[in-house]
Amino acid sequence: MSAFSAQDQSHRRHYRQRLDMAAANRSLLLRRQRPPPRGWQLSVRQWPLWVTLAAVLLILVNRGLVTYVWELTDAMASASASAESKGPGRREASVWAPMLRNRGAVPPDRFPPLSSLVDREGDENSHLRPAADVSFLLDFAIIGFAKSGTTTLARYLSALGVSILPGENCQLVVNKTARLVRHLYGTLPHDDRPDRMPRGLKCPQDASSDLSLPNYRRYFPRAKLIIGIRSPVSFFESFYNFRAVNNPWTEMLPASKLARRCIPGSLGICGWRASFGDFLYKFGKTPGTDEERELLELNLERVGGVGNIFLYELGQLADSDEARARRFRQDLGAFLGLEGEMPPIPHINTAGRFDYIEPWREEIQERKIDICDEDFVRSVLLDKAQRTSKWIRRYFLNSSEVFVSSPEYLEDLLEGWMTDGCAP
């Protein structure tokens, strides 16, 4: 009996140990599966309700804030107009008043979802949806040429309230249209009203790029194009000195080696980039006869199928004739569909970033060139200038799709390209 009791007690102890181990495992399992304290967390069933309420609240706040800002802008414009009517000593009329007044409430966003235009990832043209129409995203582009006032115009239009992408956006140069579409879609306002501000960008390389014009024709065929030109001789000097000032750590090649094609180490400076007539020929705005091609050099292929062009010469941005300068501004505004008085265009100095640093100033000045000292380069560029001047005046300005301001004055400026400014 005592042996049976000892065995029974052993079984009992073993059974209790197994029960304790099972209870411990069950407690550990429950502790792992137990949800954390509720606090501010929401159940799965509550998420749709709270997300809907948050979205409605965000829309109401956004509509109210933007409307308030526009109303405040209108009030400031009205106050400015009131102050201007007080007689002598009044300030110049603000361009904001006629352009921003009567905008009304914020319109609903009727833009298609971005996912219907481009793939989620990828920047190249192939990542655009095959049937997507992205032309509504871009109304105009400042596309050339370098050192011809493109930065001045871009900042001027931005100051007027025009929707223009900041900086230079040259995605079309490298066939990255999908990236440009994302940038336009995500940066500029989603406003599709007829009286909205135009949407634009700046890329001085587009006019000479082999890829940009086909991309404009395919994706933005109605975008209006603004192109600035200057004498190839002064262009080369300005561009060379711009690079010299902004790249003080880079050795500049002699100008005599850069008269024709761009070569390694040229920093993009070469006579080829001053072939403005050849690049303008690609737009397909002229008949393309053998006679006009005799004035061209590069034998480039015509693209065509792009929007209207507003052409200006750099001298028109700093015209001392006030009446003619005002007409230029109004013609530019009319080309873009802007209303109201256009204020004077301020000069923006983009010469360099380092020439104000005292230790480098003298060295930088020595890196610059005077085109009158570069006889060989100047002779090559002068020939380009004369060819381009003749071709623009005889053919390009006669196109119904090319718009200019003060045609007589523009022709006088182009006539000035025919002579050597360094001649005694």
| pLDDT tens by residue, 254-282 | 999 999 999 999 999 999 999 999 999 99
Q: Tokens 């006539």, residue? A: 415
Q: Which residue has the higher pLDDT, 92 or 412?
A: 412
Per-residue pLDDT at 93 exceeds 80:
no
Kindly report, residue by residue over 168-195, the tens digit of the pLDDT: 999 999 999 999 999 999 999 999 888 8
CA torsion, points 68, 72, 77, 82, in degrees to nearest 10? 130
Residue 298: which of 276, 313, 267, 324 has the closest Cα? 276
What is the C-alpha separation between 262 and 246, in angstroms, rounded?
A: 19
**Which pair of structure tokens corresponds to residue 109?**
């966003």
CB 99 within 8 A of CB 338: yes
What is residue 354's predicted lDDT score, i.e. its pLDDT?
57
Which residues, other chains included, contact 71 with Cβ-Cβ below 8 Å and sequence gap of 6+?
none
Per-residue pLDDT at 112 exceeds 50:
yes
What's the CATH number for 114-418? 3.40.50.300
Residues of the chain with CATH 3.40.50.300: 114-418
**Which pair of structure tokens corresponds to residue 35?**
């949800």
Kindly report, residue by residue over 318-372, the tens digit of the pLDDT: 999 999 999 999 999 999 999 999 999 987 776 666 555 666 777 778 889 999 9
Q: Which residue has the higher pLDDT, 310 or 106?
A: 310
Q: Which residue has the higher pLDDT, 202 or 50?
A: 202
What is residue 380's predicted lDDT score, i.e. its pLDDT?
97
- The model's pTM is 0.75
Interval 92-108 mean pLDDT: 45
User: Residue 89 region, left (φ>0) first, then alpha (ψ -120 to 50), else beta?
Assistant: left
What is the C-alpha separation between 150 and 144, in angstroms, rounded?
A: 7
Chain centroid to CA 288: 31
Per-residue pLDDT at 221 exceeds 60:
yes
φ, ψ at 143 (rounded to 5°): -115, 5
CA torsion, points 268, 182, 348, 328, in degrees to nearest 10? 100
What's the angle, vertex CA 123, arms to CA 118 and CA 127, rounded to 5?
Answer: 40
For residue 309, what are the β-bridge partners?
A: 225, 402
What is residue 58's predicted lDDT score, i.e. its pLDDT?
63
Extended strands (E) in 158-237: 163-164, 199-202, 224-229
Note the helical H segments in 282-317: 290-293
Which residues, other chains included, contact 275 with Cβ-Cβ below 8 Å and sequence gap of 6+?
208, 232, 297, 298, 384, 388
What is the C-alpha separation between 296 and 318, in angstroms, rounded?
A: 29
**Which pair of structure tokens corresponds to residue 195?**
């009286």
pLDDT band at 17 (very low <50, low <70, confident <90, very high): low
What's the angle, vertex CA 205, arms to CA 399 and CA 364, rounded to 5?
Answer: 125
% residues pLDDT > 70 (the chain): 73
* Average pLDDT across the chain, whole number: 82
pLDDT band at 87 (very low <50, low <70, confident <90, very high): very low
